[in-house]
Chains A and B, each alone.
Chain A
Amino acid sequence: MAAILIYSEKRPLALELLTAAAVIAQDTDLDVKVVCINNNEQADEMAGRGATTYHIQEDNLNLADTACVAAALEQAVNKLDASIVLLSSNRRGKELAGRLAQKIQAGCLTDVNGLAVVEGKIQCSRNALGGAVISIQRIETEQQVIALTPRSYEARPVQEGGSIKQLAIEAVSSPLKLISSRGKAGDTVDIEAADILVIVGQGMEEEDMGLVESIAQTLGGEIACSKPLATDRKWLPEDRIVGLSGKKCKPQLAIILGVSGQVQFTVGIRDAHTIVAINNDENAYILQMADYAMVADLKEILPELKGALG
């Protein structure tokens, strides 16, 4: 029977793919099969979540070489009779998606944030035109490669019925030499994981950032920003950027200060549960996409807020 094949080099993302695959599997007759490469720990965990897991152990496979990983997955697709390949749309996953799709002559969509099966066919939603619109698209080819935006689905919980089998493939030799690899230094705050975000934009003045920090701390939230504050003004590191060129966040509460609300920004926060926006311009678009909208001068309102929060 044809199958959905899942692969991500990142364990948490692979667990999300399991949940996404189940959405497709429940309305089709496809089996779900997970591939792990040179990663015992991940293979064990996937099996522990009830997945039929295939482990490729091949020392000569260069995981930094997208062409090599794609060649391994092409063999897995053939051996496991997969018609749908689900990857994560993180950087490695996106790079892999195009290469694998070309190898297996598949139609491909990346940055997909939702899946549904309608009349037996998979529909994918993704942002287009820089986030201005959401497109619902369908891949028409027999073979399909779909890369899912991280955090679009919850991780699959622990469940019974998993298994691990070894899968033999032939590794292609790699012309890429890995000289060094190191973890990224610096900011370790993950704004995507925060429940509460206080987000600042160009309407802020630098001297008021202390007040914002204090308010964020009282609320138990993290500070994030629109792109210009990190790239032009350099008040905050770039991994705090919300929006098209930064992170897509889904906090419970977003308090948005001095951001006008261009679509390049709002695409990164429109999935927040509750949005509070404060802006001195009553016509700012951000006020229209807020649950609580306040027209006020930040210079006046920030000290008041800090005082009221205690």
Chain B
Amino acid sequence: MNIVVALKQVPDLQQIRIRNRQPVFDGVPYTIGSIDKNALEAGVQLKEVSGGNLMAVSVGNEELEDTIKEALAGGADEACLVIDDKLADIESSSSAALLAAAIKKIDDVGLLLFGEGSGDNYSGQVSSRVAEILGFPQIGYASQIELEGQTARITRVLEDSEEVLEVRMPVVVSVLSDINKPRIPSVTQILKAGRKPKKVLGIDDLEIELSGDRTITTLSSLAPETDRQRIAIKSAADLISALRAEGFLGR
């Protein structure tokens, strides 16, 4: 059985700076989305228990060949990548279509793992869209995954409740960031990562037609203006007076 984990290459958010309310991407390296690393780790742990092959799948520009080494060092056995420079900044519906087309080329897919949201946009659509395209059932927000034969038993955590579900694979599962703590790869694993098999596809290799029209237009994207008073307070007494004047004391 193949356990497939879908990963997104995103700019490293910790390194993005804001200048004149605009995000500055100069020199910001790509990395794998933070929750995607939890999905990868979940796949590695399941493989360690149940066996199978762990395949990383991703879609992106040519930087992806380098970025994906992080996943191969983190425990994926091989990678299947769709690479095209047009794919640097695509929307969820196109990502989902490309991922689904790439996954269709993989035999015997059992579990298909995603992070519950990407590192940059966090819109959480792609796992649901891929599940729909492939006709797989889906379970989101997993905090625990157990496999037994052809059955997956998943704990899904909602805002106010938890549910345990069973389903016959294949199934799409999106994981929460607290499902595990991704391991830090050793130097040996990092060195081995470069030699693990990587299949690189172009858009033309997939049975898919991407319409060039965007379904979403971004009209503006700016850091919010902070419109705060910034009154300097020198002592506890001053702060108490200010809070009293604002009506927060003696309520």
Please list the residues of chain A having a beta carbon within 8 angstroms of any beta carbon in chain B.
64-67, 70, 90-92, 94-99, 101-103, 106-111, 123, 127-130, 132-141, 174-184, 196, 219-220, 231, 238, 244-245, 252-253, 263-264, 270, 274-276, 287-295, 301, 304-305, 307-309
Contacts and interface: CB of A to CB of B under 8 A. Distances in A.
Contacts of A138: 216-217, 219
Given A129-B120, A130-B122, A308-B237, A290 B216 contact: no
A99 B124 contact: no
Given A177-B165, A179-B153, A245-B177, A294 B226 contact: no
Contacts, number: 227
A135 B221 contact: yes
Interface in B208-251: 213-224, 226, 228-237, 239-240, 242-243, 246, 248-249, 251
A111 B127 CA distance: 16
B137 A67 contact: yes
A99 B138 contact: yes
Contacts of B165: 64, 176-179
B230 A293 contact: yes
Interface stretch (B53-61, B75-83, B154-162, B199-207): B154-162
A212 B125 CA distance: 40
A280 to B, nearest CB: 14
A244 B128 CA distance: 21
A174 B237 CA distance: 63
Contact of B93 (A101, A127, A175, A295): A101
Given A67-B137, A90-B159, A110 B120 contact: no
5 closest A-B pairs by CB: A98-B128, A107-B215, A98-B125, A304-B236, A102-B132
B103 interface: no
23 contacts: A67-B131, A70-B132, A92-B158, A94-B140, A95-B128, A95-B140, A101-B128, A102-B93, A107-B216, A108-B125, A130-B119, A132-B18, A139-B215, A140-B213, A140-B216, A175-B167, A287-B230, A288-B230, A290-B228, A292-B229, A304-B235, A305-B240, A308-B240
Given A129-B11, A141-B215, 10 more contacts: A90-B158, A91-B157, A95-B138, A98-B124, A101-B128, A110-B123, A129-B121, A183-B160, A244-B122, A292-B233
A301 to B, nearest CB: 6
By size class, the interface of chain B is 35 or more
Nearest to B231: A292
Contacts of B233: 276, 292-294
Contacts of A183: 160-161
B223 A133 contact: yes
Interface of B: 11, 13, 16, 18, 21, 23, 92-93, 96, 119-129, 131-133, 137-141, 153, 156-168, 174, 177-178, 213-224, 226, 228-237, 239-240, 242-243, 246, 248-249, 251
Most buried by A among B122, B138, B160: B122
Where chain B touches its partner, the secondary structure class is: mixed
B100 to A, nearest CB: 9
B236 A129 contact: no
Contacts of B125: 97-98, 101, 108, 110
Contact of A276 (B16, B127, B140, B239): B239
Contacts of A184: 157, 160-162
A61 to B, nearest CB: 14
B224 A270 contact: yes
A292 B138 contact: no
Contacts of A263: 18
Contacts of A90: 158-159
Contacts of B163: 64, 178-182
A57 B85 CA distance: 49
Nearest to A181: B163
A129 B156 CA distance: 26
A99 B219 contact: no
Nearest to A126: B123
B128 A274 contact: no
A204 B139 CA distance: 38
Given A129-B120, A137-B216, A294 B128 contact: no
B178 A238 contact: yes
A177 B122 contact: no
B230 A179 contact: no
B180 to A, nearest CB: 13
A302 to B, nearest CB: 9
Contact of A253 (B121, B232, B246): B246
Given A64-B163, A288-B228, A134 B129 contact: no
A175 B137 contact: yes
